[in-house]
Copies of this chain bind each other. A is one copy, B any other.
Amino acid sequence: MSVITMEAADGGLRERKKARTREALVDAALRLFAEQGFGPTTTEEIAAAADVSQRTLFRYFPTKEDIILDVQDEIEEAFRLKLAARPAAEHPVDSLITALTAAWSEVDASVLNAHLRIMRLSDESPKLLAAHLQRSAVNLDLLASLIAHRTGTDTAEDPRPELVAAAFGSAVHVGIVRCCRSGRGGVDDLVSSVNHCLELLIPTLTEPWDADRRAGRGAAPRAPRPAPPADGPGTPA
């Protein structure tokens, strides 16, 4: 048979079969985890549900956690692409917030929903939570490198790229966790919770603590930095 026929189409025939197998595994895992929990579900069950052998499963994913944690990487990669599209002169904090909004508005809703379901599962399984946090750490490193590159900062001498990335990541994480904890949460709840946390981050660190302030209804925080020129090619949403 012709090699050309097999690989010509639009991503390769094999590529698409691989992608389908991969998706079948992710779907099966997501479903079984929801039904039985993360721990009780075995890799053999997942493989059987996706009609492949256990060995094949481990050829696609190195660990059980990775089967579902890949969607996280997918989201974060989209986010980094949006960040790279922001103007270089913009302050990293502004770039990060704008890029996140842009990325989340473009990502498929089912992907964000899957991410939410994974966060829920993490509450129940320490192992899954640990794997998730580890990935977040790796993605944070990538983010810091990207920021350093964009601002022409030498990471070896200046910790600021890592600090912005870490502080931003913290705020996003707090927003996600709070959304998950508040019972049911659709994608809309997720977005508003994270946005609220991002808005509050700087005022929380710089303004006097007012016990009565809540949910952004308080004295409006003074703009801490001059607004950047609105010349960005990105998607300001």
Contact = CB atoms under 8 A, between A and B. Distances in A.
Interface stretch (A28-36, A45-53, A109-117, A168-176): A168-176
Nearest to A226: B208
A143 to B, nearest CB: 12
Contacts of A167: 167, 170-171, 201, 204-205
A151 interface: yes
Interface SS of chain A: helix
Interface in A88-107: 91-93
A14 B133 CA distance: 38
A173 to B, nearest CB: 7
A126 interface: yes
A214 B130 contact: no
B178 A171 contact: no
Contacts of A153: 211
A201 B167 CA distance: 8
A129 interface: yes
Contact of A206 (B166, B170, B202): B202
A196 interface: yes
A170 B174 contact: no
Contact of A174 (B162, B174, B206, B208): B162
A175 B167 CA distance: 13
A133 B159 CA distance: 20
A213 interface: yes
B164 A171 contact: no
8 contacts: A126-B134, A129-B137, A130-B134, A157-B214, A159-B196, A163-B174, A166-B174, A206-B224
Given A157-B214, A205-B205, A208-B225, 11 more contacts: A91-B208, A92-B209, A133-B137, A154-B214, A158-B213, A158-B214, A162-B178, A163-B205, A166-B171, A167-B201, A208-B226
